[in-house]
């Protein structure tokens, strides 16, 4: 008789059928994720596990267990820097330029320390954050020590998932084989390595907003905001109203943000020319949509951090920051 593989129990729990299967508890997912990250799972088991979770839709307890396991693998510097905002970037952009990178830079120029992390390459034809940072001459970290140094020097750093947790990057790349995104896409973005008190999360599908917020609450996240961003990234679509759902010290809230830029009808950027990011930042070009996306995204972050009594005040603060930005920071880039 062949001895059962230790991971088989977790596949069985979630895959026994509509009446006998159940979600994993937080501790069960912690154990399962530890095995996955340590490479102690057979490829067939991993594929079955990921697909079963995806079909059923992950629950917050599973997310919390998964994130806890990932955090155990981090080797953070002993003198890790303070980080104000953890910014996940896992989708890539297809229809609009990555204006959110300029929003993060704007916040960094105004004293907000931003740690961005994310992935790339899982979907063809998209522009990813690493590419934008490289083009604009912004720092890219290949280790937590490098990220810490960059954060201290300029209040912003981006660390690709391949360096943050290589095993997670490998799992995300299974999309081309499985044909489905995996729970890593949902929960990998919530690892918040530097334990920032404020966290940005965005979704493709509105139904995932509650999953993200409930998971953050289980993890003890102090403040987080989740919304449907442009292309799945943390970027405001300024020509549409926006619902932002938040978590503050265990309390849930939501705010409706009004249209920021009028007269624009579902725009699509067919060129996706990264040089326009630099041109708009330096003032060489104007772009109502792009500037609205930058200001609107920065405003959501400011509101999350309690800067601004309401959406209007936070937006006014972001506009003022944009008007007085250091345009020379990207002057020599590209």
Could you report the per-residue pLDDT of 57-98, keeping only the tens digit for each? Answer: 889 999 999 999 999 999 999 999 999 999 999 999 999 999
**Low-confidence stretches of the chain (pLDDT beneath 70):** 1, 121-124, 331-334
Q: Among 101, 74, 76, 77, which Cα is nearest to 87's?
A: 101
Which string of DSSP letters, residue by residue, matches 109-138?
Answer: HTT--EEEEE--SSSTT-B-HHHHHHHHT-
What pLDDT score does 334 carry? 40
Whole-angstrom distance, CA of residue 85 vs CA of residue 67: 18
Angle at 182 between CA 120 and CA 53, to 5 degrees: 170
Of 231, 204, 25, 203, residue with least CA distance to 212: 203
CATH of domain 8-72: 1.20.970.10
Instruction: Give the position of tokens 């307890």.
Output: 61
CA 230/CA 197 separation, integer angstroms: 24
> How far, rounded to the nearest angstrom, does the alpha carbon of residue 231 sit from its chain's CA centroid?
12
Integer Cα distance of 33 and 207 in angstroms: 24
| pLDDT for 186 | 82
pTM, two decimals, is: 0.94
Q: How many residues does the chain have?
A: 334
Q: Counting Cβ atoms within 10 Å, is residue 217 exposed (0-12), middle (13-18) or buried (19+)?
A: middle
Angle at which helices 288-304 and 311-323 pack, to 10 degrees? 120
CB 11 within 8 A of CB 49: yes
- Looking at residue 331, its pLDDT comes to 56
Could you give the CA distance from residue 282 to residue 290 in angstroms, rounded to a whole number? 13
Q: Are 264 and 322 in contact (CB under 8 A)?
A: no
Cα gap 219→187, rounded to integer Å: 12
Domains 8-72 and 85-330 alike in fold = no
Indicate left, alpha or beta for 265 from its phi (over 0: left) and psi (-120 to 50: alpha).
beta
Return the pLDDT at 325: 97
* Residues 198, 300 contacting (CB under 8 angstroms): no
DSSP state, residue 80:
P
DSSP letter assigned to residue 98? -
Q: Which fold has domain 85-330?
A: Pyrimidine Nucleoside Phosphorylase; Chain A, domain 2 (3.40.1030)
Q: What pLDDT does 116 receive?
A: 97
Q: What is the DSSP letter of 292?
A: H
Tell me what pLDDT residue 333 has.
42
* Ranges of each domain in the chain: 8-72, 85-330
């Amino acid at each position: 008789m062949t001895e059962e593989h230790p991971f088989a129990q977790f596949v069985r729990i979630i895959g026994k059928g509509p009446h006998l299967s159940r979600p994993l508890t937080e501790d069960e997912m912690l154990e399962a994720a530890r095995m996955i990250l340590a490479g102690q799972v057979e490829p067939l088991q991993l594929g079955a596990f990921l697909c079963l979770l995806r079909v059923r839709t992950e629950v917050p307890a599973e997310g919390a267990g998964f994130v806890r396991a990932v955090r155990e693998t981090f080797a953070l510097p002993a003198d890790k820097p303070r980080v104000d905002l953890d910014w996940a970037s896992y989708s890539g952009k297809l229809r609009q330029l990555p204006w959110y990178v300029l929003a993060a830079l704007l916040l960094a120029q105004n004293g907000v320390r931003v740690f961005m992390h994310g992935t790339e390459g899982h979907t063809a034809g998209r522009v990813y954050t690493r590419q934008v940072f490289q083009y604009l001459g912004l720092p890219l970290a290949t280790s937590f020590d490098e990220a810490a140094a960059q954060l201290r020097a300029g209040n912003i750093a981006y660390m690709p998932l391949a360096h943050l947790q290589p095993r997670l990057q490998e799992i995300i790349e299974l999309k081309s084989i499985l044909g489905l995104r995996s729970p890593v896409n949902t929960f990998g973005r919530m690892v918040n390595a530097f334990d920032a008190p404020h966290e940005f999360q965005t979704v493709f599908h509105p139904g995932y907003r509650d999953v993200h917020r409930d998971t953050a609450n289980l993890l003890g996240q102090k403040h987080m905001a989740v919304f449907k961003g442009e292309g799945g990234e943390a970027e405001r679509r300024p020509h549409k109203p926006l619902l932002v759902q938040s978590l503050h010290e265990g309390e849930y809230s939501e705010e409706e943000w009004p249209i920021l830029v009028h007269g624009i009808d579902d725009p699509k950027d067919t060129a996706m020319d990264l040089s326009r990011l630099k041109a708009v930042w330096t003032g060489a070009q104007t772009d109502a949509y792009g500037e609205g996306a930058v200001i609107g995204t920065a405003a959501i972050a400011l509101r999350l951090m309690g800067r601004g009594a309401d959406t209007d005040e936070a937006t006014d603060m972001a506009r003022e920051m944009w008007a007085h930005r250091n345009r020379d920071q990207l002057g020599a880039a590209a």
